[in-house]
Amino acid sequence: MNQTVNQIPPYRWAKRARDSVAPEGGTTSGGDLIELGGGFDFPDALPDIVSEAMAAAELRSETLQYGPLYGLNDLRDAVAEYLRQDGIAATRENILVVNGAKHGLDLACRVFLEPEDPVIVAAPTYLMAAKILRHAEASFVSIPQDEEGMDTEVLRDRLQARQDAGESMPKLLYDMPDFHNPTGIPMSAVRRRRLVDLATQYDFVIIEDDPYRRIRFEGEAVPPIKAFDESGRVIGLGTISKILAPGLRIGWVNADPAIVRRIAAHKSDGGSCPLLQRIVVQLLRNRKMDQHVATLISLLRVHRNAMIDAIHEHLPDTLVRVPNGGYFLWVRLPPGIDADELVRRAAKEGVSIISGRLCFAEEPPGSFLRLAYSFSTPADIVEGVKRLGRAYASIRSELETSINRIVRS
């Protein structure tokens, strides 16, 4: 029976839910639209997990039963080992398995934030993180980035000014030091260390979200912020979404056991899916994940290059940053070109993109686009940017016409 009724009751929503209605979807745009918006994995490269899934299904009493709240010990151990490769001193007690990094952030907000508590974010930042923080009713302290990542001196000045003025001090800082989403900027080692010092000085906790660290095309890695943390002030969020498959919904929180235990108490799902966790354990143990990452790097490098070339050809006068890894390109539009309008016209031309406006927790300092090269094939990327170029050209010519009219009058 159809459940739609003629008139819905005047539901008494919680304040935080009054204005939030999620659109259907959450998948790629589909149809004839070329997807250059969402950070989806490249479909042709999704791993074959049939043998691991069959083996996991054999372990019925583990994988079909309620699992342990903190996650399978084998997975916690495997994640700790994975993190130790990056110089992080993690053991099982530091790891809580969650349903993806976003879930980890949501839980961290739950245990740290009261409504209106200020949270430090980069400007721009990951659009879903901004959304999760808004749902936690946080207020924002947005700090600009330069080529070394979040500007720690601006941060210090802002924190000192707040302290001097007796304003409430941020409890949390959220950032992505490796191949930042959306800018692709890697934070320098100096800044990472400086952030940890500032966290100690001004008493806040750093949430380091690090999904793209392994998707590196060029250059040398620097240690994660967590590797500089000697006092338990950094919470690491990890995920297999960008290095295996987002559909598995497995991620982790890596933190001091005191934080892990507190967050686990608020993880109300009774434990993440043990079947999926067992599959991931096997993919880590049999090194399929490492092979998969190597394949992804070589494929996505080609995607990135195709997109950069196409942007140079079809989006004149824009500024694009060439990232050494990750999934995204960040494009600055010239003055007068509105990103939201470009998104609308691009959809009409048959390409889905993301307005940079969504990537700012507060007012954007200009007009930007976030483009993802992860999902579409190089041929579709080129065609998609060509379509985007048509939308861009139409706005530019209208802009020029109106400027000429003003100049003549």
Contact by Cβ (8 Å): 204, 173: yes
For residues 293-331, one letter each, b for 16 or more C-beta atoms within 10 angstroms of the residue's C-beta and e for the rest, the string is eeebeebbbebbebbbebbeebbeebebeebbbbbbbbb
With CB under 6 A as the contact rule, the residue among 37, 47, 67, 100 that binds ligand PLP is 100
Least Å distance, CB 305 to ligand PLP, is 21
- Residues 314 and 369: their CA atoms lie apart, in Å, by 14
Instruction: For residue 137, report the phi and psi dihedrals to the nearest 5 degrees.
Output: 60, 30
Least Å distance, CB 213 to ligand PLP, is 11
Is 37 a binding residue for ligand PLP by CB under 6 A? The answer is no
Task: Give the residue with the Cβ less far from ligand PLP, 101 or 276.
Answer: 101
Least Å distance, CB 167 to ligand PLP, is 28
Which run of H or of E encompasses 95? strand 95-98
Size of the site for ligand PLP (CB under 6 A): 13
Is 323 a binding residue for ligand PLP by CB under 6 A? The answer is no
Task: Give the residue with the Cβ less far from ligand PLP, 159 or 381.
Answer: 381
Least Å distance, CB 99 to ligand PLP, is 8
With CB under 6 A as the contact rule, the residue among 36, 70, 80, 102 that binds ligand PLP is 102
Count of helices and strands (H, E) across the chain: 12, 14
With CB under 6 A as the contact rule, the residue among 94, 142, 239, 376 that binds ligand PLP is 239
Least Å distance, CB 28 to ligand PLP, is 13
Which run of H or of E encompasses 34? strand 34-35
With CB under 6 A as the contact rule, the residue among 37, 124, 184, 211 that binds ligand PLP is 211
- Residues 77 and 124: their CA atoms lie apart, in Å, by 34
Least Å distance, CB 129 to ligand PLP, is 7
Q: 175 by DSSP, 3-state: which? A: strand
Integer-rounded Cα radius of gyration of the chain: 22
With CB under 6 A as the contact rule, the residue among 118, 149, 246, 323 that binds ligand PLP is 246
Contact by Cβ (8 Å): 194, 177: no
- DSSP per residue, 332-371: EPPTT--HHHHHHHHHHHTEE-EEGGGG-SS--SS-EEEE
With CB under 6 A as the contact rule, the residue among 29, 241, 282, 355 that binds ligand PLP is 241
51: number of Cβ within 10 Å: 12
With CB under 6 A as the contact rule, the residue among 83, 101, 281, 315 that binds ligand PLP is 101
According to CB under 6 A, which residues from 146 to 205 bind ligand PLP?
A: 176, 181
Contact by Cβ (8 Å): 389, 333: no
With CB under 6 A as the contact rule, the residue among 67, 71, 186, 251 that binds ligand PLP is 251
Instruction: For residue 177, report the phi and psi dihedrals to the nearest 5 degrees.
Output: -75, -20
Minimal CB distance residue for ligand PLP? 100
With CB under 6 A as the contact rule, the residue among 126, 252, 330, 373 that binds ligand PLP is 126
Is 243 a binding residue for ligand PLP by CB under 6 A? The answer is no
Least Å distance, CB 241 to ligand PLP, is 3
Task: Give the residue with the Cβ less far from ligand PLP, 126 or 392.
Answer: 126
- Residues 81 and 371: their CA atoms lie apart, in Å, by 33
162: tokens are 């707040």
Using the 8-state DSSP alphabet, how is residue 68 labeled? P
With CB under 6 A as the contact rule, the residue among 209, 216, 325, 360 that binds ligand PLP is 209
Task: Give the residue with the Cβ less far from ligand PLP, 97 or 342.
Answer: 97
Only one of the segments 146-154, 200-208, 239-247, 258-266 lies at the binding site for ligand PLP (rule: CB under 6 A); that segment is 239-247
Contact by Cβ (8 Å): 348, 34: no
Residues in touch with ligand PLP (CB under 6 A): 39, 100-102, 126, 176, 181, 209, 211, 239, 241, 246, 251
